[in-house]
Structure 1
Amino acid sequence: MMDIRPLRRVVLALFAIVIIAIGLTTRLPGVAWPPIFAKCLGSALWGVMVYCVVAWLRPGWHLARVALAASCVAVAVELSQLWHPAWLDAFRATRMGVLLLGRFFAWADIVAYLVGIGAAAATDAALRAR
C-alpha cells in the first residue's frame, strides 16, 4: 500500500499558500470588501490556514484530531490577545504580528476560526473519501 502522506503534505502546503493569498486580500486597503465581511472571512480563512498547518505537521492524524488541535491553537492565539507584555505588543504592532496574532480579543473571531476549521475538516473528509 502506498504512503500518501508526502503527497498530502504537498497538497496541504499549496492549499495553505492559496488560503494565505486570499486571506491577505481581505486586509488590503484597496480591495472593496465590506468591512464586516472582510473581518469574518479573514478570520475564517486564518482558521483554515491553522488547520492546514496542523494537518501538514501531522499528516497521519485523523481529521477530528487535526481539527481539535487546530481549534486549540486558534483559541489560544485569540486568548493571548488578553495578555499584553511589551515585547508581545511590539510584535503585534508589526504587519506580521497583527496577521499572525491579531491585536484585540473578540469572541466573534473565535467563532469565525471555528467555522473555518470546520469547513477545512469537512473539505478534508470529502477529499479523503475520494
Structure 2
Amino acid sequence: MKKNTRINYFLLIFTVIILGVLSRRIHGVPLFFGDILYAIMVYFGIRFVFINSSFRNSIILALLLCFSIEFLQLYTAEWMVSIRKTTLGHYVFGQGFLWSDLVYYTLGVVFAFLADVFLINKK
C-alpha cells in the first residue's frame, strides 16, 4: 500500500462530493448518477477511516451504511422529515425510498472497489 493512500482517499471523497452536488445542479444528468456517487463517497470514506481494513470488510460496511440510510427513508416521523427538508439533511438522508437506489448503491461500491484495487492500491 502506498504511503499517501489516506490522502488519496480524502481527495477522492472531496472530488466525489463536488461531483455529486454538481450532478444535482446540472440539468440532464440522471438522478441515479448522484446515488452512484454517494455510494462511491461512502466506500472511500470507510477506506479513509479504516485504512487497514480488508476490501471485503470495506465493501460490506459501505453497503450496510448505504442500505441503512435508504431504508431509513421509510421512517417518516415529523422530526426526521424536517431534517430531510434542509440541504444537508437532503444530501445525507435523501427524500424517499426506492428499491432501484439499492442497485445504484451496489454499482457505486463496486466501481469504487475496482478503482481502489486497480488505481489506488496497485502493486
1:58 maps to which residue? 50
Superposed CA RMSD: 1.5
Displacement after TM superposition at 1:3 (Å):
7.7
**TM-score normalised to the size of structure 1?**
0.88
Which structure 2 residue ranges, 5 or more long, are not aligned? none
1:107 match: 99
Output aligned runs, 1:1-130, within 5 Å.
4=3, 7-28=4-25, 31-34=26-29, 37=30, 39-127=31-119, 128-130=121-123
Query: Would you say the 8 A contact 1:64–1:121 is kept in 2?
Result: no
1:63–1:121 contact (8 Å) kept in structure 2:
yes
Do the aligned partners of 1:12 and 1:52 also contact (CA within 8 Å) in 2? yes
4+ runs deviating over 6 angstroms:
none
Identity %: 24
Give secondary structure in 1 for the equivalent of 2:95. coil
